[in-house]
Structure 1
């Protein structure tokens, strides 16, 4: 392979951070991996916009604390004219979680806590893999979707469970928008750092007529309530008498994730015998694929997001490869697919797809 071809295939990266020290740390990290080429640096939004106009860029790493404007506002500005896969790399306090969520809403693919030398040594491979996957991400346009008048089915004992990772915060919001005003009990695992899950749930709770909250240990699983697993903990379903609750515990990571989709899905398979629909959305890796396969084996209606509308077609692809998905569909079709799943489970004349 020629040198020019090797350079052509590298991921051309722009580093945006107002700290010279951090720019050097990120540059050193990227240049240690032959997949990346740092083509520019910017300390201010105006410099970043100039680099974006002048250069062919495949990936941007973005700090959120910038002079002139926030990184979140800058992402929104250039995404409107030239969408480029972007990973937020920033140090934030819990009360600043909204900036990460705003960045993801504006088009960022992923968030990584700003690394120091110690963090890089311990997590170098994972950080580089996340940056590499982000560079391959599809920036999905908002598509029209059908909204269900009421997803709450004829049976009050139905359950909806959802797993997501990279690109999932916006995918979850889009999916919930399709569900109408009445929904079955819903449990969600989104790979998310500690502190951000509460802000994510609060942000969603303002948008919908049903309740959306970060799950607390012992929360009851009930109609018109969405429980989101807290970052840094595992969430599982437990049965007490005729009712169901969630247990939030400091168990080890599963598939390197905490919370883990497989951890939740496995508990649902063990504990819940009623009609249930499981959905696996965009995300890198394979978390949730095995759990979904096991859920399908006990009669669950399982749905995987398609490649076209996935930001990162990792977790859904692994589920499809394992034949774990009864149905594969686009994000904008999820509401109708979930409704179809509950109808098929509750109809005495229809069984689950084989």
Structure 2
């Protein structure tokens, strides 16, 4: 990193001394990140923030004197700062973290209930990526940080997961498939898009970068808000009109064609573009299985996951859209897809639903 480039200053808030120490070690292994301080509870954190405002906060949920969600809401109303939630996530507790995302948190880091230090150390790259994404995020009342360069690192592509092509996609038919990909800031962006879809909309398949357990609660929450049926995808699920399938956390999801019908395949595999599920894996599979019968949308998020897949979708005859910079929490993924030449049209978040519906009219 160039000497003149400002480091991302992070405040760690967690009641566990072990977590504070481990997180400090993990984050400061990256030359672009500096831990400016730690706090055992929100009251100690508030005093530290009065002295110096951090670029990013990592915040535990369960803490003494004040829980993390309450502190997050107070923080966003008074001094908006990008926050990454760091919590022991169980299936029962995932709804709490959905509340955190709705309150303004930009991402979630998981820590297990046992073996916390080992887990955090083993997932150091993902943790540092989450903090870097948060540093670029637009939060309520705030603005995006200036982009920071990162050293290129070798990443697997979707070829590591996708089976060899099994023939050409069908020519244009009456049934369409919509594929959406998002990361940082995507939970609320996806909610806005999916809430605007009618009950008879074409089948939708979604990859949102999320941890294990979180996607089920996310799908359940969306199902109460949307006219379409929303569920976490299960291997072999058909893609049906009026239904949204969300890739489960920790699994890749691909589209397959059997005769004239589409199904999803959910499987394990290596991280692709540092993610599982990966947007590239989904998009490239949709390009191969559906071709011109597909619509692809890349939304807010950091990194380049989905960029190659968007290009393949466009080359296969699909309609392709990217969320615009002004409405993206982080403009990384849409920007990379645009740079790769895979985007037909750049669209504000509030117009994405109408654009994709228009594109599916035969």
Q: TM-score range by the shorter chain?
A: 0.7 to 0.9
* CA deviation profile, 1:88-131 (whole Å, cap 9, x unmatched): 12222221111221111111111112384434543334422331
Aligned counterpart, 1:87: 84
Written as runs of structure 1 = structure 2, the 5 A alignment for 1:1-354 is 9-114=6-111, 116-139=116-139, 156-273=174-291, 275-343=293-361, 346=362
1:202 and 1:213 in contact (8 A); partners too: yes
User: How many angstroms does 1:2 deviate by?
Assistant: 12
C-alpha distance in 1 between matches for 2:194 and 2:2: 49
1:157 and 1:274 in contact (8 A); partners too: no
C-alpha distance in 2 between matches for 1:224 and 1:293: 27
Aligned to 1:163, the other structure's residue is in SS state: strand
* CA deviation profile, 1:301-351 (whole Å, cap 9, x unmatched): 1001112221121111110001110001221221222233234xx3xxxxx
C-alpha distance in 2 between matches for 1:80 and 1:181: 35
After TM superposition, the runs of 4+ consecutive aligned structure 1 residues lying more than 4 A away are none
1:109 and 1:167 in contact (8 A); partners too: yes
1:306 and 1:329 in contact (8 A); partners too: yes
1:202 and 1:212 in contact (8 A); partners too: yes
Aligned to 2:78, the other structure's residue is in SS state: coil
Aligned to 1:263, the other structure's residue is in SS state: helix
1:247–1:28: structure 2 CA closer, same or farther, 3 Å change rule? closer
Aligned to 1:57, the other structure's residue is in SS state: coil
* CA deviation profile, 1:248-304 (whole Å, cap 9, x unmatched): 122333222211111111221122245321000111111111111011012111001
Aligned to 1:80, the other structure's residue is in SS state: helix
C-alpha distance in 2 between matches for 1:256 and 1:13: 22
TM-score scaled by length of structure 1: 0.86
2:291 and 2:317 in contact (8 A); partners too: no
Aligned residues: 328
Aligned to 2:360, the other structure's residue is in SS state: helix
Aligned to 2:253, the other structure's residue is in SS state: strand
C-alpha distance in 2 between matches for 1:76 and 1:121: 29
User: How many angstroms does 1:235 deviate by?
Assistant: 1.2
2:177 and 2:293 in contact (8 A); partners too: yes
- Consecutive unaligned residues of structure 2, counting only runs of 5 or more, are 142-172
Aligned to 2:179, the other structure's residue is in SS state: strand
* CA deviation profile, 1:54-109 (whole Å, cap 9, x unmatched): 42221101001112343122212211121101111222222111122111111111
Does 306-315 or 285-294 show the bigger shift?
306-315
TM-score scaled by length of structure 2: 0.84
Aligned to 2:256, the other structure's residue is in SS state: strand
Structural RMSD (CA): 2.3
User: How many angstroms does 1:176 deviate by?
Assistant: 1.1
1:237 and 1:245 in contact (8 A); partners too: yes
1:47–1:271: structure 2 CA closer, same or farther, 3 Å change rule? same
Aligned counterpart, 1:149: none
1:42 and 1:48 in contact (8 A); partners too: yes
- Consecutive unaligned residues of structure 1, counting only runs of 5 or more, are 142-154, 347-354
